[in-house]
């Protein structure tokens, strides 16, 4: 074996792996210290062109993927041998925590994190009750709470880690993963989806839990071993591990106790002393079957963990995407809605036909209509309206609306004012019942591409329940009511045509459900239920509006991680969340909090978010320049708060030609 002429061919080595044992092991009784460079076990791979070794005598010999044929989602909603939560990948210092992901134990249920390897089945999918759709549902409550318990423990450990750890890059990464996990849990628990989406959501939550746990373990245990802060490991940890071609990386992994397999070419055979041959494990206990739905290839070629990791995250994030309902305008009868080219403050607005002369019989274009200047402060005494911060009322009265465009957007969800501005409680009850019938479907629509925004005219038609097609006589002209019915049906068709959802609007249920409570459709809903419905709609609308305006006004070069963190704080606070999931366990927080002290972090964050918006906008020019460290209180703070909110509401009006929606809170008195 001293010259290449004596090397076995690849075929010979593949046929007879014992050719690796060309050197005799040390004599029995001689005590030998195992190092990273020992080859205690070996296995032939790739038809004899390569072989792998490891210093660990009890380690399973995993077969590395040397060429990615086509990384795609499998039947178990994971990515088979190319998935870093299932199978060892090539070591990457940029993603050094991934080999620290726990390996699936032989007996799942004996492990405290056993649910992180559980595969969802139909029996854990609970269909939505009280709606007019089929095929929408959620994970069973009991299983959801089991997953939340595990995730909550990991997030609490993350909070403790960030308090005691000084490495800013590591704490920032931990916070980012913790916020992501919180948002994914919220989507899993609160948003009704299809069975396939539920499975993707569960697996994404599992993936985030395992990765965050691995990141904490790497920072607390494995990295200190690598740099000598802690003693080197005596054995391999029960984690995924990694493949490597580099001796320096092998030494790091060995000191940390992270399992690794060194990939060697056939030409190195003469320099390696192998103690024993081990069988090659081709794959673990996960599925390699293709799913019953079309699954596109996410990556192929030479393994590149950074690129594969990014591709897998992109797939996982698809289950949590919230599509903006403000990006694609629609035309409602003769009401002209703005196009994307007209969106943004200080833009020229189209006010109608620009011909020099118009027929004398044509009515002049209307100026601001009542609904455009109507705001929630005008209904503050309504018993059904939850309380809000009075700074919003102050700001509404000072919005500059002298240039009102006939082009305007609708709302992502029904405007809360539609419920409190009705003339009779019976009408409001009808709106609430029909909203509960449609709620799951209308929230689900924003999880699909190209959702349509809806004007108040269409929301009224929809909430009244009057959108079924009625027979007409031959030659009968279409009425405005029938046109609106048609618009509502078209709206449903838009997002039902690309999903597996069926709409049964001919026989709506005789009861509605709200937060584990059931009500007959003909009974009066309690005041607290109506308030909760209006509260949820205010939060959903506010989140969608703020997100949409930020997308419109933030230049690409300013849309940094720091900016997105500020925006996330405005929407969800420190814990993170999901745009479509309103957590009723935390109702008294954010911009509607009763105490100015509780509101101030959100107000300062919103001010800082608006700093990035398009230069020269009225919102940006009017922003106060105080710093949060100035510790302003009393009237000085309230003046600051009012002006920040006014700047935000002015941006909403400049973009959408209407007042923005006020975030409310679930209390019984006003601020």
String of DSSP letters for 364-390 = PPP---HHHH--GGGGTT-TTSPP--H
Whether residues 200 and 264 fall in one domain: yes
Residue 267, helix vs strand vs coil: helix
Number of domains in the chain: 2
**37-51, 55-69, 270-284: which has the minimum mean pLDDT?**
270-284
Query: For residue 47, is it left (φ>0), alpha (ψ between -120 and 50) or beta?
Result: left
Beta-ladder partners of 265 = 50
Say if residues 95 and 129 touch (Cβ distance below 8 Å): no
Give the residue among 623, 609, 628 at the shortest CA–CA distance from 566. Answer: 609
The DSSP letter of residue 220 is: I
Q: Is 284 exposed, middle or buried (0-12, 13-18, 19+ CB in 10 A)?
A: middle
Residue 425, helix vs strand vs coil: helix
What number of residues does the chain have? 671
Token pair of 334 as six digits: 């003769």
Q: Which residue has the tokens 């269409």?
A: 458
Confidence band, pLDDT 50/70/90 cuts, at residue 373: low
Is the pLDDT at 3 greater than 60? The verdict is no
The DSSP letter of residue 411 is: B
Determine the pLDDT at residue 5. 53
Residue 247 lies in a domain: yes
Whether residues 115 and 233 fall in one domain: yes
Helix (H), strand (E) at residue 520:
strand 517-520
User: For 60-111, what is each residue's pLDDT tens digit?
Assistant: 999 999 999 999 999 999 999 999 999 999 999 999 999 999 998 876 667 8
Is the pLDDT at 251 greater than 70? The verdict is yes
Token pair of 411 as six digits: 């709302």
Whether residues 305 and 407 fall in one domain: no
Say if residues 290 and 74 touch (Cβ distance below 8 Å): yes
Q: Is 616 exposed, middle or buried (0-12, 13-18, 19+ CB in 10 A)?
A: exposed
Residue 671 lies in a domain: no
Is the pLDDT at 625 greater than 80? The verdict is no
Is the pLDDT at 596 greater than 60? The verdict is yes
Distance of CA 92 to the CA centre of its chain: 26
User: For 382-430, what is each residue's pLDDT tens digit?
Assistant: 889 999 999 999 999 898 876 555 555 689 999 999 999 998 999 999 9
Whether residues 370 and 314 fall in one domain: no
Determine the pLDDT at residue 472. 54
Helical packing angle, 168-190 and 141-164, nearest 10°:
160
Report how far residue 533's alpha carbon sits from residue 628's, in angstroms, rounded to the nearest whole number: 34
Give the residue among 653, 40, 659 at the shortest CA–CA distance from 375. Answer: 659
Determine the pLDDT at residue 36. 92
Residue 263 lies in a domain: yes
Residue 441 lies in a domain: yes
Determine the pLDDT at residue 358. 38
Task: Kindly give, in sequence order, each residue whose CB lies less than 8 Å from that of residue 175, ignoring residues fewer than 6 positions away.
Answer: 158, 162
The DSSP letter of residue 458 is: H
Q: Which residues of 6-15 are buried (b: 16+ CB within 10 A; e: fewer)?
A: ebbeeeebbe
Report how far residue 347's alpha carbon sits from residue 618's, in angstroms, rounded to the nearest whole number: 11
Whether residues 526 and 603 fall in one domain: yes
Whether residues 203 and 252 fall in one domain: yes
Confidence band, pLDDT 50/70/90 cuts, at residue 2: very low
Q: What is the mean pLDDT of residues 338-359?
A: 34
What does the longest C-alpha to C-alpha distance in the chain come to?
112
Report how far residue 22's alpha carbon sits from residue 272's, in angstroms, rounded to the nearest whole number: 9
**1-10, 62-71, 172-181, 516-525: which has the minimum mean pLDDT?**
1-10
Confidence band, pLDDT 50/70/90 cuts, at residue 333: very low
Residue 333 lies in a domain: no
Q: What is the mean pLDDT of residues 365-393?
A: 74
Helix (H), strand (E) at residue 653:
helix 634-656
**Which parts of 194-292 fold into alpha helices (H)?**
195-217, 223-226, 247-256
Residue 670 lies in a domain: no
Whether residues 427 and 292 fall in one domain: no
Whether residues 63 and 140 fall in one domain: yes
Whether residues 371 and 311 fall in one domain: no
**Which parts of 81-194 fold into alpha helices (H)?**
141-164, 168-190
Is the pLDDT at 115 greater than 60? The verdict is yes
Give the C-alpha distances (Å, rounded to integers) separating 316 from 144, 204, 470.
Answer: 18, 6, 43
Beta carbons within 10 angstroms of residue 461's beta carbon: 22
Beta-ladder partners of 90 = 243
Say if residues 170 and 219 touch (Cβ distance below 8 Å): yes
Q: Which domain covers residue 20, as residue numbers?
A: 4-318
Token pair of 562 as six digits: 């720091």
Report CA torsion sign: 311, 313, 319, 320: negative
Report how far residue 112's alpha carbon sits from residue 123's, in angstroms, rounded to the nearest whole number: 23
Report how far residue 635's alpha carbon sits from residue 248's, in angstroms, rounded to the nearest whole number: 62
Residue 329 lies in a domain: no
More confident position, 480 or 118: 118
| Torsion angles phi and psi, residue 31, rounded to 5 | -75, 130
Report how far residue 494's alpha carbon sits from residue 307's, in angstroms, rounded to the nearest whole number: 34
Give the residue among 638, 649, 636 at the shortest CA–CA distance from 606. Answer: 649
Residue 667, helix vs strand vs coil: coil
Residue 642, helix vs strand vs coil: helix
Whether residues 257 and 311 fall in one domain: yes
Whether residues 604 and 638 fall in one domain: yes
Whether residues 267 and 143 fall in one domain: yes
**345-354, 388-397, 415-424, 589-598: which has the minimum mean pLDDT?**
345-354
Q: Which residues of 347-357 are buried (b: 16+ CB within 10 A; e: fewer)?
A: eeeeeeeeeee
Report how far residue 587's alpha carbon sits from residue 664's, in angstroms, rounded to the nearest whole number: 9
Residue 562 lies in a domain: yes
Provide the mean pLDDT of the chain: 84
Determine the pLDDT at residue 554. 93
Token pair of 146 as six digits: 């089991």
DSSP characters for 274-327? EEEE-PEE---SS--PPPSS-----EEES--HHHHHHHHHHHHHHTT----TTS
């Amino acid at each position: 074996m001293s010259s290449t002429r004596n090397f076995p061919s690849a075929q010979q080595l593949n046929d007879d792996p014992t050719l690796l044992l060309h050197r005799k092991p040390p004599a029995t009784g001689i005590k030998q210290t195992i190092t990273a460079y020992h080859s205690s076990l070996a296995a032939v791979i790739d038809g004899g062109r390569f072989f792998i070794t490891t210093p660990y005598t009890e380690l399973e010999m995993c077969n590395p993927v040397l060429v990615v044929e086509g990384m795609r989602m499998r039947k178990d909603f994971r990515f088979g041998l190319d998935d870093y939560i299932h199978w060892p990948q090539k070591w990457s210092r940029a993603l050094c925590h991934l080999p620290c992901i726990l390996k699936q134990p032989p007996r799942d249920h004996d492990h405290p994190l056993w649910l992180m390897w559980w595969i969802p089945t139909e029996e854990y999918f609970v269909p939505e009750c009280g709606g007019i759709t089929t095929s929408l549902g959620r994970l069973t409550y009991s299983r959801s709470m089991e997953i939340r318990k595990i995730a909550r423990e990991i997030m609490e450990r993350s909070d403790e880690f960030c308090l005691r750890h000084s490495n800013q890059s590591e704490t920032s990464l931990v916070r980012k993963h913790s916020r992501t996990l919180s948002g994914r849990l919220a989507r899993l628990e609160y948003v009704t989806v299809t069975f396939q989406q539920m499975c993707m959501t569960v697996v994404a939550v599992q993936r985030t839990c395992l990765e965050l746990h691995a990141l904490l373990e790497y920072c607390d245990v494995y990295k200190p071993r690598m740099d000598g802060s802690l003693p080197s490991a005596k054995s391999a940890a029960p984690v995924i591990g990694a493949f490597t071609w580099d001796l320096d990386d092998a030494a790091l992994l060995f000191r940390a106790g992270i399992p690794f397999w060194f990939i060697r070419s056939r030409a190195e055979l003469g320099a390696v002393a192998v103690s024993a041959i081990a069988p090659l494990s081709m794959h673990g206990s996960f599925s390699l079957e293709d799913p019953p739905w079309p699954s596109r290839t996410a990556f192929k070629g030479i393994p590149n963990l950074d690129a594969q990791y990014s591709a897998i995250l992109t797939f996982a994030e698809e289950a949590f995407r919230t599509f903006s309902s403000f990006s694609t305008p629609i035309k409602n009868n003769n009401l002209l809605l703005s196009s994307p080219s007209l969106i943004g403050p200080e833009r020229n607005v189209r006010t109608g036909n620009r011909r020099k002369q118009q027929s004398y019989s044509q009515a002049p274009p209307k100026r601001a209509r009542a609904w455009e200047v109507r705001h929630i402060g005008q209904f503050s005494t309504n018993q059904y309206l939850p309380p809000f911060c009075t700074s919003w009322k102050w700001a509404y009265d000072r919005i500059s609306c002298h240039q009102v465009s006939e082009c305007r957007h609708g709302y992502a969800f029904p405007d809360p004012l539609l419920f409190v501005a009705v003339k009779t409680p019976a009408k409001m009850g009808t709106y609430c019942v029909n909203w509960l019938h449609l709620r799951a479907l209308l929230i689900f629509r924003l999880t699909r591409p190209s959702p349509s925004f809806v004007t108040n005219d269409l929301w009224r038609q929809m909430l009244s329940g009057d959108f079924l097609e009625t027979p007409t006589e031959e030659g009968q002209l279409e009425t405005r009511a029938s046109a609106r019915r048609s618009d509502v049906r078209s709206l449903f068709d838009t997002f039902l045509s690309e999903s597996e959802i069926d709409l049964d609007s001919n026989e709506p249920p005789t009861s509605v459900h709200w937060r584990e409570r059931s009500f007959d459709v003909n009974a009066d809903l309690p005041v607290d239920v109506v308030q909760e419905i209006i509260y949820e709609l205010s939060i959903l609308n506010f989140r969608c509006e703020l997100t949409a305006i930020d997308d419109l006004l933030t230049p690409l070069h300013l849309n940094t991680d720091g900016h997105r963190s500020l925006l996330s704080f405005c929407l969800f606070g420190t814990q993170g969340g999901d745009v479509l999931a309103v957590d009723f366990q935390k109702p008294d927080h954010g911009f509607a909090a009763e105490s100015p002290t509780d509101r101030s972090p959100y107000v300062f964050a919103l001010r800082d978010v608006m700093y990035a918006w398009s230069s020269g906008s009225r919102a940006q020019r009017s922003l106060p320049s105080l710093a949060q460290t100035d510790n302003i209180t009393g009237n000085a703070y309230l003046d600051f708060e009012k002006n920040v909110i006014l700047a935000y509401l002015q941006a909403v009006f400049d973009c959408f030609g209407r007042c923005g929606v006020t975030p409310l809170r679930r209390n019984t008195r006003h601020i």
